[in-house]
Amino acid sequence: VELWAGATVAAGLVAAAMSPGLVPPALLLTVGGAPAALWVLRTRARRRYASALPPALEQIAAHLRGGGTVAHGVAALAGGDGPLAGDLRRVQARADLGVGLADALAAWPLERDVGDIRAVAGALAVAETLGGRSAHALDGLAASLRDRIGAVAESRSLSAQARLSAVVVGASPLAYLVFSALVDPESVGLLVGTGAGRVCLGLGLLLEA
């Protein structure tokens, strides 16, 4: 929120230095752009998190084949620096307090809203009971999750050109507004200083939204 407020103030000052008429659009863009950027970053973080689940399952399956337990595999992942490490450290801490690993894993999906977490936590809870016999099942779940992630990545790759075109088309009017303010400040003054101009600006921003 502090960065958001600072960016809004900075955008207003820069816009005022360029052209007073740019101040309202700059403030609107900054106020709306910060939540959009946060949503994009959070979506990317969720994808990175989901991509880390199949390797984690395979690592725990390898521990089971080597005579270890699910708890040993969780501890090894919690001691690393991967995307899952923080959550698994909390799981391990609950288990160490006497809750039990199965119950500690049950709280994991409640804290992390990623679609595949529930299946992973349930599989690990069952594997804790069955031991090494469940290693093959964990590998199968990892392969299934990897296939799903690959399908999503392929669909994003196939639609990348269309999404980029949408960004360019959407950003072009805003870029032209800034360019017009630099080249011909009076045009922006008419846009925000007259009734017809304000109607045009309002309709344009509405269509952009």
Predicted local confidence at residue 90, as pLDDT: 92
Spatial separation of the C-alpha atoms in residues 66 and 1, rounded to whole Å: 48
pLDDT at 27 over 70: yes
Residues contacting residue 195 through CB under 8 Å, at least 6 positions apart: none
What pLDDT, in 10s, does the model give residues 167-207? Answer: 888 888 878 877 777 777 777 777 777 888 888 888 888 88
Higher pLDDT, 33 or 2: 2
AA letter at 65: R
What pLDDT, in 10s, does the model give residues 38-84? Answer: 888 888 888 898 999 999 999 999 988 888 888 888 999 998 888 89
What pLDDT, in 10s, does the model give residues 90-136? Answer: 999 998 898 888 889 988 988 888 778 899 999 998 888 887 688 89
Give how far Cα 47 sits from Cα of 7, 113, 133, 134, 201, Å: 27, 12, 30, 27, 37
Closest CA to 116 of 88, 146, 94: 146
Name the DSSP class of 116: T
Spatial separation of the C-alpha atoms in residues 174 and 83, rounded to whole Å: 36
User: Do 138 and 120 meet the contact criterion of CB atoms below 8 Å apart?
Assistant: no
Model pTM score: 0.68
Residues contacting residue 103 through CB under 8 Å, at least 6 positions apart: 94
What's the per-residue H, E or C state across 75-106? Answer: HHHHCCCCCCHHHHHHHHHHHHCCCCHHHHHH
**What's the start-to-end Cα distance of the chain, in Å?**
22
